[in-house]
Structure 1
Protein backbone atom coordinates (compact mmCIF):
# COMPACT_ATOMS: atom_id res chain seq x y z
CA UNK A 1 0.00 0.00 0.00
CA UNK A 2 1.41 3.37 -0.99
CA UNK A 3 1.84 6.28 1.42
CA UNK A 4 -0.93 8.13 -0.42
CA UNK A 5 -3.32 5.20 0.12
CA UNK A 6 -2.37 4.97 3.80
CA UNK A 7 -2.97 8.71 4.24
CA UNK A 8 -6.33 8.47 2.46
CA UNK A 9 -7.33 5.60 4.77
CA UNK A 10 -6.37 7.59 7.87
CA UNK A 11 -8.33 10.59 6.61
CA UNK A 12 -11.38 8.40 5.99
CA UNK A 13 -11.26 6.99 9.54
CA UNK A 14 -10.78 10.48 10.95
CA UNK A 15 -13.73 11.83 8.95
CA UNK A 16 -15.93 8.94 10.12
CA UNK A 17 -15.02 9.61 13.77
CA UNK A 18 -15.77 13.32 13.33
CA UNK A 19 -19.19 12.55 11.79
CA UNK A 20 -20.06 10.15 14.65
CA UNK A 21 -19.01 12.70 17.29
CA UNK A 22 -20.99 15.45 15.57
CA UNK A 23 -24.08 13.22 15.39
CA UNK A 24 -23.77 12.37 19.09
CA UNK A 25 -23.39 16.05 20.02
CA UNK A 26 -26.46 16.98 17.96
CA UNK A 27 -28.48 14.19 19.61
CA UNK A 28 -27.37 15.31 23.09
CA UNK A 29 -28.20 18.94 22.36
CA UNK A 30 -31.57 17.96 20.86
CA UNK A 31 -32.51 15.90 23.93
CA UNK A 32 -31.21 18.48 26.39
CA UNK A 33 -32.77 21.62 24.94
CA UNK A 34 -35.58 20.63 22.57
CA UNK A 35 -37.38 17.30 22.92
CA UNK A 36 -36.96 14.41 25.34
CA UNK A 37 -38.53 10.95 24.99
CA UNK A 38 -40.46 9.34 27.85
CA UNK A 39 -42.50 6.18 28.35
CA UNK A 40 -45.63 5.47 30.39
CA UNK A 41 -45.24 2.71 33.02
CA UNK A 42 -48.45 3.26 35.03
CA UNK A 43 -52.18 3.72 34.51
CA UNK A 44 -52.61 7.20 35.97
CA UNK A 45 -53.12 8.98 32.61
CA UNK A 46 -55.18 6.32 30.81
CA UNK A 47 -56.71 6.41 28.39
CA UNK A 48 -55.01 9.60 27.17
CA UNK A 49 -51.61 7.96 27.67
CA UNK A 50 -51.65 4.18 27.97
CA UNK A 51 -49.14 1.93 29.69
CA UNK A 52 -46.56 1.25 26.98
CA UNK A 53 -46.98 4.58 25.17
CA UNK A 54 -43.80 6.42 24.20
CA UNK A 55 -43.95 10.16 23.65
CA UNK A 56 -41.81 13.26 23.33
CA UNK A 57 -41.98 16.26 25.64
CA UNK A 58 -41.31 19.78 24.40
CA UNK A 59 -38.63 21.19 26.71
CA UNK A 60 -38.32 24.73 25.38
CA UNK A 61 -41.99 25.84 25.38
CA UNK A 62 -41.93 26.44 29.17
CA UNK A 63 -38.29 27.43 29.33
CA UNK A 64 -35.69 25.65 31.43
CA UNK A 65 -35.49 24.78 35.10
CA UNK A 66 -33.14 22.72 37.27
CA UNK A 67 -34.59 19.42 36.01
CA UNK A 68 -34.65 20.30 32.33
CA UNK A 69 -31.17 18.87 31.85
CA UNK A 70 -29.71 15.33 32.14
CA UNK A 71 -28.36 16.25 35.56
CA UNK A 72 -30.04 18.71 37.98
CA UNK A 73 -28.58 22.20 37.68
CA UNK A 74 -28.34 24.19 40.94
CA UNK A 75 -30.43 27.29 40.23
CA UNK A 76 -33.89 28.46 41.27
CA UNK A 77 -36.90 29.18 39.08
CA UNK A 78 -37.00 28.99 35.29
CA UNK A 79 -35.43 30.88 32.42
CA UNK A 80 -37.10 31.74 29.10
CA UNK A 81 -40.38 30.20 27.90
CA UNK A 82 -43.96 30.74 29.05
CA UNK A 83 -46.09 29.44 31.91
CA UNK A 84 -48.15 26.24 31.44
CA UNK A 85 -51.80 26.56 30.47
CA UNK A 86 -54.60 24.81 32.28
CA UNK A 87 -55.10 21.46 30.55
CA UNK A 88 -51.50 21.02 29.39
CA UNK A 89 -49.96 17.62 30.07
CA UNK A 90 -46.78 18.11 32.07
CA UNK A 91 -43.74 15.99 32.80
CA UNK A 92 -42.21 17.07 36.11
CA UNK A 93 -39.72 15.93 38.72
CA UNK A 94 -41.67 14.76 41.74
CA UNK A 95 -40.82 14.97 45.44
CA UNK A 96 -40.30 11.18 45.32
CA UNK A 97 -37.27 11.84 43.05
CA UNK A 98 -39.08 10.36 40.05
CA UNK A 99 -40.40 11.89 36.84
CA UNK A 100 -44.21 12.05 36.82
CA UNK A 101 -46.70 12.96 34.11
CA UNK A 102 -50.06 14.57 34.91
CA UNK A 103 -52.42 17.21 33.57
CA UNK A 104 -52.24 20.82 34.79
CA UNK A 105 -55.57 21.43 36.52
CA UNK A 106 -54.81 24.25 38.95
CA UNK A 107 -52.81 27.43 38.36
CA UNK A 108 -51.20 29.61 41.04
CA UNK A 109 -53.89 31.04 43.32
CA UNK A 110 -56.62 28.60 42.24
CA UNK A 111 -58.86 26.80 44.69
CA UNK A 112 -59.27 23.11 43.81
CA UNK A 113 -61.62 20.59 45.43
CA UNK A 114 -63.24 17.22 44.75
CA UNK A 115 -66.80 16.74 45.99
CA UNK A 116 -68.66 13.49 45.31
CA UNK A 117 -66.38 12.73 42.39
CA UNK A 118 -66.80 16.13 40.73
CA UNK A 119 -63.97 18.58 40.20
CA UNK A 120 -64.45 22.16 41.41
CA UNK A 121 -62.17 25.01 40.33
CA UNK A 122 -62.57 28.28 42.22
CA UNK A 123 -65.94 27.15 43.54
CA UNK A 124 -67.43 26.20 40.17
CA UNK A 125 -68.08 22.59 39.22
CA UNK A 126 -66.22 21.60 36.06
CA UNK A 127 -68.45 20.39 33.25
CA UNK A 128 -68.27 16.74 32.27
CA UNK A 129 -70.28 14.63 29.83
CA UNK A 130 -70.52 10.84 29.92
CA UNK A 131 -69.35 9.37 26.61
CA UNK A 132 -69.10 5.64 27.25
CA UNK A 133 -67.93 2.66 29.25
CA UNK A 134 -64.60 0.82 29.13
CA UNK A 135 -62.27 -1.57 30.93
CA UNK A 136 -59.12 -0.19 32.57
CA UNK A 137 -56.09 -2.39 33.27
CA UNK A 138 -53.32 -1.08 35.54
CA UNK A 139 -49.64 -2.04 35.75
CA UNK A 140 -50.51 -4.92 38.10
CA UNK A 141 -52.83 -6.33 35.42
CA UNK A 142 -55.89 -5.59 37.56
CA UNK A 143 -58.87 -4.74 35.35
CA UNK A 144 -61.89 -2.74 36.45
CA UNK A 145 -64.88 -1.25 34.61
CA UNK A 146 -64.75 2.54 34.18
CA UNK A 147 -66.97 5.30 32.89
CA UNK A 148 -65.53 7.71 30.33
CA UNK A 149 -66.33 11.43 30.51
CA UNK A 150 -65.42 14.39 28.33
CA UNK A 151 -64.33 17.09 30.78
CA UNK A 152 -64.24 20.77 29.81
CA UNK A 153 -61.96 23.02 31.83
CA UNK A 154 -62.74 26.73 32.43
CA UNK A 155 -60.46 27.82 29.57
CA UNK A 156 -62.33 25.57 27.10
CA UNK A 157 -59.77 22.75 26.95
CA UNK A 158 -61.52 19.39 26.65
CA UNK A 159 -60.08 15.98 27.40
CA UNK A 160 -61.30 12.52 28.34
CA UNK A 161 -61.15 11.28 31.91
CA UNK A 162 -62.23 7.96 33.36
CA UNK A 163 -63.74 7.12 36.72
CA UNK A 164 -64.37 3.87 38.56
CA UNK A 165 -67.10 5.64 40.52
CA UNK A 166 -67.75 8.94 42.29
CA UNK A 167 -67.09 7.61 45.79
CA UNK A 168 -63.46 6.54 45.65
CA UNK A 169 -60.87 7.63 48.29
CA UNK A 170 -59.86 10.86 46.49
CA UNK A 171 -63.38 11.83 45.35
CA UNK A 172 -64.05 13.96 48.45
CA UNK A 173 -61.26 16.28 49.54
CA UNK A 174 -60.59 19.45 51.42
CA UNK A 175 -60.15 22.59 49.35
CA UNK A 176 -56.60 23.04 48.05
CA UNK A 177 -55.24 26.56 47.49
CA UNK A 178 -52.42 26.49 44.96
CA UNK A 179 -49.42 28.53 46.17
CA UNK A 180 -47.72 31.15 44.02
CA UNK A 181 -45.28 29.60 41.58
CA UNK A 182 -46.91 26.17 41.86
CA UNK A 183 -49.37 24.01 39.90
CA UNK A 184 -52.00 21.45 40.81
CA UNK A 185 -51.67 18.25 38.79
CA UNK A 186 -54.21 15.46 38.30
CA UNK A 187 -54.25 12.23 36.33
CA UNK A 188 -56.93 11.60 33.70
CA UNK A 189 -57.51 8.17 35.27
CA UNK A 190 -58.96 9.93 38.29
CA UNK A 191 -59.45 6.98 40.62
CA UNK A 192 -56.10 5.37 39.81
CA UNK A 193 -53.86 8.41 40.06
CA UNK A 194 -51.64 9.56 42.91
CA UNK A 195 -51.44 13.25 42.12
CA UNK A 196 -51.59 16.68 43.76
CA UNK A 197 -54.57 15.55 45.81
CA UNK A 198 -52.05 13.47 47.81
CA UNK A 199 -49.92 16.16 49.44
CA UNK A 200 -47.43 13.70 50.94
CA UNK A 201 -46.73 11.98 47.62
CA UNK A 202 -47.07 14.73 44.99
CA UNK A 203 -48.71 17.87 46.34
CA UNK A 204 -48.29 21.28 44.74
CA UNK A 205 -45.72 21.13 41.94
CA UNK A 206 -43.28 24.09 41.82
CA UNK A 207 -42.53 25.61 38.43
CA UNK A 208 -38.87 24.74 38.97
CA UNK A 209 -39.80 21.02 38.83
CA UNK A 210 -41.31 21.20 35.32
CA UNK A 211 -39.41 19.26 32.65
CA UNK A 212 -41.55 19.64 29.56
CA UNK A 213 -44.95 19.60 27.89
CA UNK A 214 -46.04 16.22 26.51
CA UNK A 215 -46.86 16.61 22.84
CA UNK A 216 -46.77 13.54 20.59
CA UNK A 217 -46.73 9.76 20.83
CA UNK A 218 -44.24 8.06 18.55
CA UNK A 219 -44.63 4.41 19.65
CA UNK A 220 -47.05 2.27 21.66
CA UNK A 221 -46.93 -1.36 22.71
CA UNK A 222 -49.12 -3.44 25.03
CA UNK A 223 -48.15 -4.66 28.52
CA UNK A 224 -44.94 -2.59 28.73
CA UNK A 225 -43.17 -5.00 26.38
CA UNK A 226 -39.65 -3.65 25.67
CA UNK A 227 -39.60 -2.01 22.21
CA UNK A 228 -36.40 -3.85 21.26
CA UNK A 229 -38.33 -7.15 21.26
CA UNK A 230 -39.22 -6.70 17.61
CA UNK A 231 -40.64 -10.22 17.33
CA UNK A 232 -43.43 -9.11 19.70
CA UNK A 233 -44.48 -6.20 17.51
CA UNK A 234 -46.99 -7.86 15.15
CA UNK A 235 -49.37 -8.93 17.92
CA UNK A 236 -48.73 -6.15 20.44
CA UNK A 237 -47.84 -2.82 18.84
CA UNK A 238 -50.75 -0.35 18.91
CA UNK A 239 -50.27 0.98 15.40
CA UNK A 240 -53.30 3.26 15.70
CA UNK A 241 -51.70 5.22 18.60
CA UNK A 242 -48.43 6.06 16.86
CA UNK A 243 -47.45 9.50 15.53
CA UNK A 244 -50.36 11.33 17.15
CA UNK A 245 -50.87 14.20 19.54
CA UNK A 246 -51.08 12.99 23.13
CA UNK A 247 -54.67 14.24 23.23
CA UNK A 248 -55.81 11.98 20.40
Structure 2
Protein backbone atom coordinates (compact mmCIF):
# COMPACT_ATOMS: atom_id res chain seq x y z
CA UNK A 1 0.00 0.00 0.00
CA UNK A 2 1.38 3.40 -0.95
CA UNK A 3 2.21 6.07 1.61
CA UNK A 4 -0.51 8.33 0.19
CA UNK A 5 -3.13 5.59 0.52
CA UNK A 6 -2.07 4.92 4.11
CA UNK A 7 -2.22 8.61 4.93
CA UNK A 8 -5.72 8.77 3.40
CA UNK A 9 -6.98 5.90 5.54
CA UNK A 10 -5.51 7.48 8.68
CA UNK A 11 -7.10 10.84 7.90
CA UNK A 12 -10.45 9.20 7.25
CA UNK A 13 -10.25 7.32 10.54
CA UNK A 14 -9.30 10.50 12.41
CA UNK A 15 -12.23 12.37 10.80
CA UNK A 16 -14.66 9.67 11.92
CA UNK A 17 -13.27 9.69 15.46
CA UNK A 18 -13.46 13.48 15.69
CA UNK A 19 -17.02 13.47 14.35
CA UNK A 20 -18.07 10.87 16.94
CA UNK A 21 -16.41 12.84 19.73
CA UNK A 22 -18.12 16.07 18.68
CA UNK A 23 -21.47 14.30 18.42
CA UNK A 24 -20.93 12.76 21.86
CA UNK A 25 -20.11 16.10 23.45
CA UNK A 26 -23.10 17.75 21.73
CA UNK A 27 -25.44 14.99 22.93
CA UNK A 28 -24.05 15.07 26.45
CA UNK A 29 -24.02 18.82 27.00
CA UNK A 30 -26.71 20.35 24.82
CA UNK A 31 -29.46 18.33 23.14
CA UNK A 32 -30.54 14.70 23.17
CA UNK A 33 -32.81 13.23 20.47
CA UNK A 34 -35.91 11.43 21.71
CA UNK A 35 -38.58 9.42 19.90
CA UNK A 36 -42.03 9.12 21.47
CA UNK A 37 -42.65 5.37 21.78
CA UNK A 38 -46.00 5.30 23.60
CA UNK A 39 -49.28 7.15 23.91
CA UNK A 40 -48.91 8.27 27.53
CA UNK A 41 -48.55 11.96 26.59
CA UNK A 42 -51.34 12.25 24.00
CA UNK A 43 -52.49 14.63 22.73
CA UNK A 44 -49.48 16.83 23.55
CA UNK A 45 -47.13 14.21 22.09
CA UNK A 46 -48.08 11.46 19.68
CA UNK A 47 -46.41 8.14 18.99
CA UNK A 48 -43.79 8.80 16.32
CA UNK A 49 -43.00 12.40 17.30
CA UNK A 50 -39.28 13.13 17.21
CA UNK A 51 -37.88 15.89 19.40
CA UNK A 52 -34.71 17.23 20.93
CA UNK A 53 -34.41 17.51 24.70
CA UNK A 54 -32.74 20.65 26.06
CA UNK A 55 -30.19 19.25 28.50
CA UNK A 56 -29.01 22.71 29.57
CA UNK A 57 -32.40 23.54 31.10
CA UNK A 58 -31.85 21.88 34.49
CA UNK A 59 -28.08 21.42 34.62
CA UNK A 60 -26.25 18.13 34.61
CA UNK A 61 -26.07 14.92 36.62
CA UNK A 62 -24.55 11.50 36.01
CA UNK A 63 -27.65 10.66 33.94
CA UNK A 64 -26.89 13.46 31.48
CA UNK A 65 -24.31 11.15 29.89
CA UNK A 66 -25.09 8.01 27.89
CA UNK A 67 -25.10 4.95 30.15
CA UNK A 68 -24.99 7.28 33.20
CA UNK A 69 -21.20 7.46 33.03
CA UNK A 70 -20.74 11.14 33.97
CA UNK A 71 -18.63 11.35 37.17
CA UNK A 72 -21.04 13.83 38.76
CA UNK A 73 -22.54 13.71 42.24
CA UNK A 74 -25.96 15.39 42.46
CA UNK A 75 -26.53 18.18 39.91
CA UNK A 76 -24.25 20.94 38.68
CA UNK A 77 -25.10 24.20 36.89
CA UNK A 78 -28.69 23.38 37.73
CA UNK A 79 -31.86 25.45 37.67
CA UNK A 80 -35.23 24.42 39.04
CA UNK A 81 -37.80 22.98 36.65
CA UNK A 82 -41.19 24.65 36.54
CA UNK A 83 -44.57 23.07 37.10
CA UNK A 84 -46.05 22.11 33.75
CA UNK A 85 -42.71 21.45 32.02
CA UNK A 86 -42.60 18.37 29.80
CA UNK A 87 -39.51 16.55 31.08
CA UNK A 88 -37.40 13.60 30.02
CA UNK A 89 -35.96 11.69 32.98
CA UNK A 90 -34.30 8.38 33.72
CA UNK A 91 -36.56 5.80 35.33
CA UNK A 92 -35.32 5.25 38.89
CA UNK A 93 -35.41 1.45 38.54
CA UNK A 94 -35.22 0.17 34.98
CA UNK A 95 -32.82 2.72 33.44
CA UNK A 96 -35.11 3.69 30.55
CA UNK A 97 -35.79 7.30 29.56
CA UNK A 98 -39.37 8.47 30.22
CA UNK A 99 -41.19 11.66 29.25
CA UNK A 100 -43.99 13.10 31.40
CA UNK A 101 -45.38 16.42 32.59
CA UNK A 102 -44.07 17.86 35.86
CA UNK A 103 -47.01 18.24 38.24
CA UNK A 104 -45.64 18.25 41.77
CA UNK A 105 -42.69 20.22 43.18
CA UNK A 106 -40.80 19.57 46.43
CA UNK A 107 -43.07 20.32 49.40
CA UNK A 108 -46.32 19.83 47.44
CA UNK A 109 -49.13 17.44 48.23
CA UNK A 110 -50.73 15.75 45.21
CA UNK A 111 -53.96 13.77 44.97
CA UNK A 112 -56.26 12.61 42.18
CA UNK A 113 -59.97 12.15 42.94
CA UNK A 114 -62.38 10.92 40.26
CA UNK A 115 -59.77 11.77 37.63
CA UNK A 116 -59.38 15.37 38.82
CA UNK A 117 -56.02 16.66 40.05
CA UNK A 118 -55.60 18.42 43.40
CA UNK A 119 -52.38 20.27 44.23
CA UNK A 120 -51.91 21.34 47.86
CA UNK A 121 -55.60 20.69 48.43
CA UNK A 122 -56.75 22.95 45.59
CA UNK A 123 -58.32 21.61 42.41
CA UNK A 124 -56.58 22.10 39.08
CA UNK A 125 -59.69 23.00 37.08
CA UNK A 126 -60.59 21.07 33.94
CA UNK A 127 -62.71 22.61 31.17
CA UNK A 128 -64.27 20.30 28.54
CA UNK A 129 -62.65 20.61 25.11
CA UNK A 130 -63.32 18.98 21.75
CA UNK A 131 -63.20 15.18 21.61
CA UNK A 132 -59.82 13.71 20.67
CA UNK A 133 -60.10 11.37 17.68
CA UNK A 134 -57.66 8.98 16.04
CA UNK A 135 -57.84 5.87 13.89
CA UNK A 136 -57.86 2.60 15.79
CA UNK A 137 -54.88 0.87 14.22
CA UNK A 138 -51.37 -0.21 15.25
CA UNK A 139 -49.16 2.81 15.91
CA UNK A 140 -45.39 3.22 15.85
CA UNK A 141 -42.64 0.64 15.60
CA UNK A 142 -44.17 -1.38 18.45
CA UNK A 143 -47.60 -1.53 16.80
CA UNK A 144 -49.45 -0.25 19.87
CA UNK A 145 -53.24 -0.11 19.47
CA UNK A 146 -54.92 2.84 21.23
CA UNK A 147 -57.60 2.43 23.88
CA UNK A 148 -60.85 4.28 23.24
CA UNK A 149 -63.59 5.73 25.42
CA UNK A 150 -66.10 4.56 22.79
CA UNK A 151 -64.87 0.94 22.69
CA UNK A 152 -65.58 -1.54 21.22
CA UNK A 153 -64.20 0.02 18.04
CA UNK A 154 -63.14 -2.11 15.09
CA UNK A 155 -59.82 -1.76 13.30
CA UNK A 156 -59.90 1.34 11.11
CA UNK A 157 -62.71 2.91 13.13
CA UNK A 158 -62.70 6.27 14.90
CA UNK A 159 -61.23 5.96 18.39
CA UNK A 160 -62.43 8.69 20.73
CA UNK A 161 -61.14 10.05 24.03
CA UNK A 162 -62.64 12.79 26.18
CA UNK A 163 -60.42 15.88 26.18
CA UNK A 164 -60.20 18.55 28.87
CA UNK A 165 -58.05 21.65 29.27
CA UNK A 166 -56.42 21.59 32.70
CA UNK A 167 -54.90 24.67 34.34
CA UNK A 168 -52.14 24.32 36.92
CA UNK A 169 -51.67 26.77 39.84
CA UNK A 170 -48.95 28.72 37.98
CA UNK A 171 -51.30 29.35 35.06
CA UNK A 172 -49.93 26.70 32.69
CA UNK A 173 -52.77 25.17 30.66
CA UNK A 174 -52.57 21.92 28.73
CA UNK A 175 -54.90 19.23 27.42
CA UNK A 176 -55.50 15.94 29.22
CA UNK A 177 -57.37 12.91 27.94
CA UNK A 178 -59.81 10.60 29.70
CA UNK A 179 -60.62 7.07 28.50
CA UNK A 180 -62.57 5.59 31.40
CA UNK A 181 -63.87 6.59 34.82
CA UNK A 182 -62.92 3.21 36.29
CA UNK A 183 -59.13 3.25 36.09
CA UNK A 184 -57.33 2.58 39.38
CA UNK A 185 -55.10 5.67 39.29
CA UNK A 186 -58.13 7.98 38.95
CA UNK A 187 -58.33 7.89 42.74
CA UNK A 188 -55.15 8.06 44.77
CA UNK A 189 -53.99 8.69 48.32
CA UNK A 190 -52.36 12.02 49.12
CA UNK A 191 -48.73 12.05 47.98
CA UNK A 192 -46.28 14.32 49.79
CA UNK A 193 -43.37 15.30 47.55
CA UNK A 194 -40.15 15.34 49.59
CA UNK A 195 -37.24 17.71 49.07
CA UNK A 196 -35.19 16.92 45.99
CA UNK A 197 -37.99 14.95 44.30
CA UNK A 198 -40.68 15.58 41.67
CA UNK A 199 -44.12 14.19 40.82
CA UNK A 200 -44.88 13.44 37.15
CA UNK A 201 -48.05 12.53 35.26
CA UNK A 202 -48.86 11.70 31.66
CA UNK A 203 -51.40 13.85 29.81
CA UNK A 204 -53.18 10.68 28.65
CA UNK A 205 -54.23 10.09 32.22
CA UNK A 206 -55.70 6.59 31.85
CA UNK A 207 -52.77 5.30 29.82
CA UNK A 208 -49.73 6.43 31.80
CA UNK A 209 -47.44 4.63 34.24
CA UNK A 210 -46.36 7.67 36.23
CA UNK A 211 -45.82 8.98 39.77
CA UNK A 212 -49.28 7.88 40.84
CA UNK A 213 -47.96 4.33 40.66
CA UNK A 214 -45.06 3.05 42.76
CA UNK A 215 -41.88 1.84 41.06
CA UNK A 216 -42.52 -1.63 42.48
CA UNK A 217 -45.87 -1.73 40.65
CA UNK A 218 -44.51 -0.58 37.29
CA UNK A 219 -44.82 3.20 37.72
CA UNK A 220 -42.11 5.80 38.25
CA UNK A 221 -42.90 6.88 41.80
CA UNK A 222 -41.40 10.12 43.08
CA UNK A 223 -38.44 10.98 40.86
CA UNK A 224 -35.19 12.27 42.45
CA UNK A 225 -33.80 15.48 40.94
CA UNK A 226 -30.60 13.82 39.74
CA UNK A 227 -32.63 11.65 37.34
CA UNK A 228 -33.86 14.64 35.31
CA UNK A 229 -32.28 14.80 31.84
CA UNK A 230 -33.86 17.84 30.23
CA UNK A 231 -36.88 19.76 29.01
CA UNK A 232 -38.75 18.89 25.81
CA UNK A 233 -39.39 22.11 23.91
CA UNK A 234 -40.17 21.47 20.25
CA UNK A 235 -41.22 18.60 17.97
CA UNK A 236 -38.84 18.49 15.01
CA UNK A 237 -40.43 15.69 12.98
CA UNK A 238 -43.39 13.32 13.22
CA UNK A 239 -44.37 10.09 11.52
CA UNK A 240 -47.56 8.12 12.10
CA UNK A 241 -46.20 4.97 10.45
CA UNK A 242 -44.15 2.05 11.72
CA UNK A 243 -41.15 3.15 9.67
CA UNK A 244 -39.41 6.50 9.31
CA UNK A 245 -39.21 5.90 5.57
CA UNK A 246 -43.00 5.62 5.13
CA UNK A 247 -43.17 9.24 3.96
CA UNK A 248 -46.91 9.05 3.27
CA UNK A 249 -47.45 8.79 7.05
CA UNK A 250 -45.45 11.92 7.93
CA UNK A 251 -47.39 14.52 9.92
CA UNK A 252 -46.26 17.77 8.34
CA UNK A 253 -48.48 19.85 10.61
CA UNK A 254 -46.40 18.72 13.63
CA UNK A 255 -42.95 19.61 12.20
CA UNK A 256 -41.24 22.24 14.43
CA UNK A 257 -44.29 22.43 16.70
CA UNK A 258 -43.70 23.94 20.16
CA UNK A 259 -44.46 21.67 23.12
CA UNK A 260 -46.81 23.27 25.63
**Equivalent residue, structure 2, for 1:25:** 21
* Distance of 1:140 and 1:72 partners within structure 2: 29
**Equivalent residue, structure 1, for 2:198:** 183
Q: TM-score, normalised by structure 1?
A: 0.88
1:57·1:91 contact (CA, 8 Å) conserved in 2? Answer: yes
**Equivalent residue, structure 2, for 1:158:** 173
The answer for unaligned runs of 5 or more in structure 1 is 1-5
Q: CA deviation at 1:215?
A: 1.4
Q: Does 1:193 align with 2:208?
A: yes
* Distance of 1:26 and 1:75 partners within structure 2: 20
The answer for unaligned runs of 5 or more in structure 2 is 149-159
* Distance of 1:86 and 1:142 partners within structure 2: 28
* Distance of 1:25 and 1:75 partners within structure 2: 20
Q: CA deviation at 1:100?
A: 0.8
The within-5 A match list for 1:74-89 is: 75-89=72-86
Whose radius of gyration is greater, 1 or 2? 1
**SS of residue paired to 1:29:** helix
The within-5 A match list for 1:88-127 is: 88-94=85-91, 95-127=93-125
* Distance of 2:3 and 2:90 partners within structure 1: 51
CA RMSD of superposed structures (Å):
2.0
* Distance of 2:220 and 2:253 partners within structure 1: 32
* Distance of 2:63 and 2:84 partners within structure 1: 21
Q: TM-score, normalised by structure 2?
A: 0.84
Q: Does 1:202 align with 2:220?
A: yes
* Distance of 1:179 and 1:114 partners within structure 2: 18
1:90·1:101 contact (CA, 8 Å) conserved in 2? Answer: yes
State the Cα deviation string for residues 7-49 of structure 1 (Å, max 9, x = none): 7776666555444433322211111110000111111001111
Q: Does 1:240 align with 2:240?
A: no
**SS of residue paired to 2:132:** strand
* Distance of 1:143 and 1:71 partners within structure 2: 33
**Equivalent residue, structure 2, for 1:226:** 243
What is the total number of aligned residue pairs between the two structures? 237
The within-5 A match list for 1:163-178 is: 163-178=178-193
